[in-house]
Each structure stands twice: as C-alpha cells, then as structure tokens.
Structure 1
Amino acid sequence: MAFNRASGKLSRSTRSIRLGTAAAAVAVGVAGVVAGPAAAAEHKNTFSEALAIAPSLAGHVADQAAAQKSAAAEKAAAEKKAAAKKAAEKKAAEKKAAAKKAAEKKAAAKREDAERANRSKPRPSVVAPITGGDVTTPYKSGGQMWSSGKHSGIDFAARTGTPVKSVAAGTVVTAGWGGAYGNNIVVKHNDGTYTQYGHLSAIGVSVGQQVGVGQEIGKVGSTGNSTGPHLHFEARTAATYGSDMDPVDYLRGKGVPLS
C-alpha cells in the first residue's frame, strides 16, 4: 500500500507485494510516523527488533526444511535398500528352487535309465537257492545222520530267516511237513527236473503255485532232523526221495558257480 497525501488515506498499489516479517515491521514504522512523532518513537524499537529477528527466523525455517529434506532422503534410501534386499532374496529363492527342480529331474532321469537298463538286461534262468551261503556238507557225505547212510543233497550255511529262492521257474508240487526234512518245498521246473528245499522255518508258497526264477519261497530254519540253522538243497529227476542227483553239477551246469 502507499500513502495518499491529498486524501490522507492509504491506496492499494497496482502490484501485489508479499510482505515478510521485516516488511510488516516497516509498515508498522510508517504507520507510526503518520500517527505522529510520539507514535513513531514508540514503534522505533519494534521496527529494529523485527529487522534483527527476521534473519534468525529465516535461518530456522531453512534449517527445518533441510532437516525434513534429509529425513525424506534417508527414508527413500532405506526403502530402496529394503526393496533391493527383498528382490535379491526372491531371486535367490527362485534360483534355489530351480536348482532343486533340476536336480530332482536329473535324479528321476537317472533312475529311469537304470530301470530301463535293468529291464533290458537278460535275466538268468537259474540262480543259487540262497545269497552268500557256502556249501558246508557236500553231496554223498557219509554218516549215521542219514537213513541211507549218505547225504542226498548239499547244505548251505545260513542264519534262521534267510530268504530261500526257487532256483528256476516252475510249479510247486510239495509245500509242508516232510518228516526228517522238516518244513520242505519241492518245485518242478520247466525242463522236467525238480529241486527240494528242507528244514525251513517258514513256507511262503502253496502246492500248484507258479514261481519265477529267484522268487522267495521260504526262509532258512532248523526244523526236522537238523543240528542247526541251514538249508538242505536237493536236485532230483522226480518229486520223490531217492531220485537225487549231484546238486553242485546241476547248478554249475546251468551257469551257477558255487563256493
């Protein structure tokens, strides 16, 4: 605003002016002069104080603005860092999951290859009646333990419960108690020969059942005329006792070595 001497009133300037704290103090000082010498003197100190305070207030405002700006920058930086960390963790988790999936796929492919190779591998037509058993009593050994005075088969050393396998595919013709043989099984094979398994602790097949080469048919025991756990094994030309032949030659002739 400007003072109009002709009318004694204040008129608004054509340009808008923003007054700060110091400008307001100047206006107060001018008003004091217009009011009179006494008023001017009274407001002189106020005007000076306003001029002194203005720079301090402006500095405070600037400091506050700078502090707010710094806080905002720190917050933005922290948020950016947190976002980057989260993205890195997500990427690492995805990478780990992909690696696990690839490993599982590779393992599955390896198993499938092994199974395919196993299926394509020719299967033996004859196997040993037990795994890892040594022959302890040979064929035709003499002694009072046998009614004929001679051993009609061979004995394999093994612990009670050891799986007993059919040496070849065939049909079960005997499965039950066999007197001196204890629990015994006789299998007729496709080539017309028979095999007998004695002193079993358990029988796992029944008469008339078809069995495959290497199929478990019972378990080693010490039933019947036996002095301890073992498998009595015979090779026969018929299902009955007395038709025995050398079981070692029988197995070796079919490609099964015995120790």
Structure 2
Amino acid sequence: MAFTRATGKHRRATRTARTTRNLAGVATLAASGVVASVASPALAATGEAAHHDTGLQQAVVMGDELAVRIEAQADAQQAAAEATAARAKAEAEALRLAEVAKKKADEERAAKVRAAREAERKRLNTFVAPVTGSYVSTAYKASSGLWSSGSHTGIDFHAASGTSVHAVGSGTVVEAGWGGAYGNNIVIKMNDGTYTQYGHLSSIGVTVGQTVTPGQQIALSGNTGNTTGPHLHFEARTGPDYGSDIDPVAYLRAHGVTV
C-alpha cells in the first residue's frame, strides 16, 4: 500500500543532514575568525543529548584553536611591528647622537686650530731680549772716542764669547757677514718694517734671505771688529744701514721686552 505526503507539509530534516549543515556553518565561522560556541537551535530541538554529537563538539574545539592561533599570529605580527619601529627609532637616535658628536668634535678641532693659529700669531709677534739673562753694559748714545760718530749707536749686552744670540722678533735676514768695525754682524728686517743689528759675533748661524722667529738662535757672541772685549752690540734702526739708529732700549720696551 502506498503512502503519500500531504500537500504543503514537509518532513523534518534527518539528524544526519542537520549535523552536516551545522558542521558547514561552524567551518565557515571558523574561517572568518568567528568562533561558534553554541549548538544550533535545530539540533537542540531534537531533544537528543549533545554529548552524542561528537562531530560538532570537535568542530567547535577546532574553531577555538584556530581563533587562538589567529590571535597569537596577530599578536606576533604586532610585536614584530613594534620591535621594527623601536629599532628604527633607536637607529635614528643613534644617528642623531653621532651627528651631534661629530659636530661637537669638528667644532672642538676648529677651536683648537684657531687657538693654535692665534698662539702662533702671538708668538711671531712677540719680542725677546737678544741675550737671555743679560743686562745692558753700555748705554745708547754713550760718548767715547771708541766710536767714529763720537757716541754709541746701539747698546751693549754683557756676554762672554760663545753665548747664544737670538733674533729679537720675526723677520728676514738682509745681511750676514763681515761688517767692518762691527766685526761679524747680522742685520734683520723685522716684520714691522724696522731693522735690528747684532755685532761682534764669533760665529754666524743664518744666511741672507732666511726667515727667523722670536728667540731663534742666529749666532754666538764674540770679540770681532772694533771692541775692547767680548759682548753683543745690538742696534735698532729705521733702515738697514749705519746712521738710521733709534733708541734700542725704547724699541725693545715698546715691544714688551724688559731691559
């Protein structure tokens, strides 16, 4: 005998079909990051015990695990991004500090160069006594028949033969050799345009055209030329030749030398 379904009525889906649909929904939710945590109402309506539907439980557990993995991956990516940003910030700060240190070092080097140049400039513009630790034994313009002009055209520094004689300042040697009554003598054109002369030398240590600096040894004192004993004859002049002399004591004092 044949049975027919009434028109308009539908048979409820079998347990197998319901479970298949639920598994598909759970898989879809898991793939989209949504974790299913409850059973389908259609399944609950059957009144069957949930613990018998082991397939659904396994799918929910798998969904939870997938969500945890996704969350852990997101956390790892965020941590990696933060670490990259931190490294970039640290590198930028290190570069900034290196640039600051370099700038400071450059400024310090430049300051040292300027200081050295200034010190050298001052040294070259400094004047010293022609004989260290000596004194004037014969004054400027002293009268005596020893001199052809009747008076002393320079000053004499007490000095035994062989005493070191120094250039009093920076300049260029314009005469170095025999100077008649002056004996062995040196004449230097100073950088300020004046001239200095050193006479009665026992030996000469510079040549014409040579530049000299303050305190540089240029000769040894002696007893050559018209003299009554060893000493250094020193003159300050406005020109290179005899007769252009000026007061050597005033000249040295004007340049900071105590005489």
State, as a whole percentage, how many aligned pairs show the same letter. Answer: 64
Q: Secondary structure at the match of 1:218?
A: strand
Partners of 2:164 and 2:127 lie apart in 1 by: 16
**Which residue identity is paired with 1:194?**
Y
Instruction: Give per-residue Cα distances to partners, 1:15-74, cap 9 Å, x unaligned.
Output: xxxxxxxxxxxxxxxxxxxxxxxxxxxxxxxxxxxxxxxxxxxxxxxxxxxxxxxxxxxx
Partners of 2:209 and 2:149 lie apart in 1 by: 30
Corresponding residue number in structure 1 for 2:161: 160
Partners of 2:246 and 2:228 lie apart in 1 by: 24
Corresponding residue number in structure 1 for 2:133: 132
Partners of 1:184 and 1:211 lie apart in 2 by: 15
Partners of 1:242 and 1:221 lie apart in 2 by: 23
Partners of 1:150 and 1:163 lie apart in 2 by: 27
Corresponding residue number in structure 1 for 2:213: 212
**Which residue identity is paired with 1:225?**
N
Partners of 2:227 and 2:119 lie apart in 1 by: 42
**Which residue identity is paired with 1:173?**
V
**Cα offset, 1:133, TM superposition:** 1.0
Partners of 2:150 and 2:247 lie apart in 1 by: 16
- When normalised by structure 1's length, the TM-score is 0.53
Matches within 5 A, 1:225-244: 225-244=226-245
Are the structure 2 counterparts of residues 120 and 206 from structure 1 closer, same or farther at C-alpha, using a change threshold of 3 Å? Answer: closer
**Which residue identity is paired with 1:166?**
A
**Cα offset, 1:120, TM superposition:** 6.0
Matched, 1:246 2:244: no
Are the structure 2 counterparts of residues 255 and 149 from structure 1 closer, same or farther at C-alpha, using a change threshold of 3 Å? Answer: same
Corresponding residue number in structure 1 for 2:65: none
**Which residue identity is paired with 2:179?**
G
**Which residue identity is paired with 1:242?**
G
Stretches of structure 2 lacking an aligned partner (at least 5 in a row): 1-114
Corresponding residue number in structure 1 for 2:179: 178
**Cα offset, 1:222, TM superposition:** 0.4
Partners of 1:167 and 1:137 lie apart in 2 by: 19
Instruction: Give per-residue Cα distances to partners, 1:184-214, cap 9 Å, x unaligned.
Output: 0000011000000000000000001111111
Corresponding residue number in structure 2 for 1:150: 151
Matches within 5 A, 1:66-145: 123=123, 125-145=126-146
Partners of 1:120 and 1:144 lie apart in 2 by: 46
Partners of 1:236 and 1:257 lie apart in 2 by: 19
The CA RMSD measured in Å over matched residues stands at: 1.8
**Cα offset, 1:144, TM superposition:** 0.4
**Which residue identity is paired with 1:233?**
F
Partners of 1:226 and 1:204 lie apart in 2 by: 21
Partners of 2:216 and 2:239 lie apart in 1 by: 21
**Cα offset, 1:236, TM superposition:** 0.1
Matched, 1:222 2:233: no
Matches within 5 A, 1:20-31: none
Corresponding residue number in structure 2 for 1:20: none
Q: Secondary structure at the match of 1:214?
A: coil
Q: Secondary structure at the match of 1:234?
A: strand
Q: Secondary structure at the match of 2:200?
A: strand
**Which residue identity is paired with 1:151?**
H
Partners of 1:257 and 1:213 lie apart in 2 by: 15
Q: Secondary structure at the match of 1:252?
A: helix
Corresponding residue number in structure 2 for 1:29: none
Corresponding residue number in structure 1 for 2:51: none
Q: Could you list the structure 1 runs, at least 4 aligned residues long, displaced by more than 4 angstroms after superposition.
A: 119-122
Instruction: Give per-residue Cα distances to partners, 1:94-146, cap 9 Å, x unaligned.
Output: xxxxxxxxxxxxxxxxxxxxxx99x9695361100010111010000001000
**Which residue identity is paired with 1:213?**
P
Corresponding residue number in structure 2 for 1:76: none
